[in-house]
């Protein structure tokens, strides 16, 4: 995503599971044990919050209502008797529709609390590691108005032994050997180690990469690129895409390639600055009308745009370059035009692209990575190989984001590899290992998340300090470029056939 502040904050056992194979298990076994119940009306409340009794179904003497103004927060003081993993289960009701608000553990973000119903419903932030003793849990205003009844602290149940068992078989039955080899490696590695990744417009030897190399002496294992400049409405204004060239260069150097597409809407739909045409605010495109057949011209234009991108991706297929292809990302956020619609229209567009690229253009080198950021927008296991999430929790927030990891794991109907497809700050690998949040890979976005300068290779510590950067790139459970095997000859797993 083009990072301009529109991003929503989203945020095993102690050892790393080293497993392979294919299973369909999706849930943990057993029930979590409650170890403490804390009523919101007895917590520390900011001045704008008030105790109410108008809604039915609350416990205790009432519930807390508000979270309308920035700074509104409810602080629970909790206590646990032993070190371990605990679920933070909140009972809330939304007021005026779906809401999300921040949750902090001892001042650090652990994700967003969703309030999806107008009656009191439970929502848990799972597998938070707590040391024995006192802790502060804060619910802080983000999206606003809710009724907060209570916090229940439960002992987390263990992750199932098959949690990291994923198949290497791709959704495209005609996937070529280069894609099967890469997916075999990713599946073999999943649950054991995390692949490092970095988005960089100029590829493996671009600005962000130089900054990382200067600080760590390492290159990431995965290079992230964007097909944005190939969008016909940008090309019409003089843009020239170079991502295909940089993808070939990265692969020849032994790196893995992932690509997204900030799809600039077709020219007839641009209403503002042409170079921001992937945002809904600069277009008047109506995907609902296009996908239901009301706007036939729009449908033809979308197909034409996809033709252009498919032809470019064919160049990578000819060169034997497999691509972790991540189109139509972050749809549920609603800031891109492809998410400014009903989920059904988005899903139809995704499946149309899959069908066109796979069957019409024979792009058998693609591994399809989906990250629509919500299960409601999931297009189906038959057109998705890997499920990703984009998380920007703030500055120097090094938590593993285990709660979001577990949520994303549930998007698909069968076990799919879960990856951090975009991130701002890095996470602490020790915490990921401890928590069991073994993201298949991470992909740090470029620009300010690595460097403030566009000309000098000077690393910025705003989001990840140098000490943590070095720790990540030298960690025994993080794979960097020089630790990758030769992926042109990597053995294809039997389940990938």
- The catalytic site residues sit at 330, 422
Contact 373, 330 (CB under 8 A): yes
Whose tokens are 């009656």? That residue is: 119
Taking the C-alpha atoms of residue 8 and residue 331, their distance in angstroms, rounded to an integer, is 12
- For the record, the structure tokens of 224 come out as 């992230």
d(CA 90, CA 16) in angstroms, rounded, equals 29
CA of residue 139 relative to chain centroid, distance: 22
Pull the structure tokens for residue 201. Answer: 């417009």
- Cβ atoms < 10 Å from Cβ of 311: 11
Report the alpha-carbon distance of residue 92 to residue 143 in Å, rounded: 14
Contacts of 285 (CB under 8 A, 6+ apart): 265, 266, 269, 298, 337, 340
Q: Are strands 99-105 and 108-115 parallel, antiparallel or unpaired?
A: antiparallel
Half-sphere exposure of 120 (CA within 13 A, CB side): 19
The two structure tokens encoding residue 162: 């098959």
d(CA 391, CA 427): 11
């Amino acid at each position: 995503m083009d990072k301009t502040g529109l991003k929503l904050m989203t945020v095993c056992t102690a050892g790393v599971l080293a497993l392979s194979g294919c299973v369909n298990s999706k849930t943990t076994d057993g029930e979590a044990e409650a170890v403490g119940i804390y009523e919101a009306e007895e917590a520390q409340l900011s001045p704008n919050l008030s105790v109410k009794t108008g809604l039915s179904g609350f416990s205790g003497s009432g519930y807390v209502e508000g979270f309308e103004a920035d700074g509104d927060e409810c602080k629970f003081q909790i206590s646990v008797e032993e070190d371990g993993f605990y679920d933070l289960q909140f009972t809330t009701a939304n007021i005026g529709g779906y809401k999300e608000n921040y949750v902090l553990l001892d001042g650090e973000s652990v994700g967003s609390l969703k309030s999806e119903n107008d009656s009191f419903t439970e929502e848990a932030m799972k597998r938070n590691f707590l040391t024995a003793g006192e802790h502060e849990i804060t619910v802080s205003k983000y999206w606003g108005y809710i009724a907060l009844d209570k916090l229940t602290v439960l002992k987390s149940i263990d992750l199932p032994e098959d949690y990291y068992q994923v198949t290497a078989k791709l959704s495209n039955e005609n996937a070529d050997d280069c894609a099967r080899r890469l997916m075999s490696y990713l599946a073999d590695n999943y649950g054991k180690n995390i692949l490092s990744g970095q988005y960089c417009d100029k590829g493996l030897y671009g600005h962000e990469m130089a900054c990382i190399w200067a600080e760590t002496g390492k290159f990431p294992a995965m290079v992230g690129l964007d097909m944005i400049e190939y969008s016909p409405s940008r090309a019409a204004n003089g843009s020239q895409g170079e991502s295909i060239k940089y993808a070939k260069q990265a692969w020849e150097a032994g790196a893995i390639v992932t690509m997204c597409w900030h799809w600039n809407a077709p020219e007839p739909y641009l209403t503002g600055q042409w170079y921001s045409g992937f945002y809904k605010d600069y277009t008047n495109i109506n995907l609902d009308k296009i996908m239901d057949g009301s706007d036939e011209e729009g449908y033809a234009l979308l197909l034409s745009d996809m033709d252009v991108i498919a032809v470019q991706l064919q160049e990578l297929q000819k060169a034997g370059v497999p691509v972790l292809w991540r189109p139509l990302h972050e749809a549920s956020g609603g800031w891109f035009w492809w998410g400014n619609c009903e989920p059904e229209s988005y899903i139809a567009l995704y499946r149309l692209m899959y069908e066109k690229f796979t069957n019409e253009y024979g792009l058998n080198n693609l591994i399809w990575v989906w990250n629509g950021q919500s299960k409601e927008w999931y297009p189906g296991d038959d057109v998705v190989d890997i499920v990703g999430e984009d998380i920007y929790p703030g500055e120097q927030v090094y938590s593993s984001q285990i709660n979001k990891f577990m949520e994303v794991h549930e998007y698909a109907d069968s076990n799919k590899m879960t990856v951090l497809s975009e991130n701002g700050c890095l996470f602490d690998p020790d915490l990921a290992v401890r928590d069991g949040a073994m993201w298949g890979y991470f992909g740090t976005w470029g620009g300010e998340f690595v460097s403030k300068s566009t000309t000098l290779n000077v690393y910025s510590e705003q989001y990840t300090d140098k000490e943590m950067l070095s720790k990540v790139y030298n960690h025994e459970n993080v794979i960097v470029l020089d630790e990758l095997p030769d992926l042109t000859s990597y053995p294809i797993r039997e389940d990938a056939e």
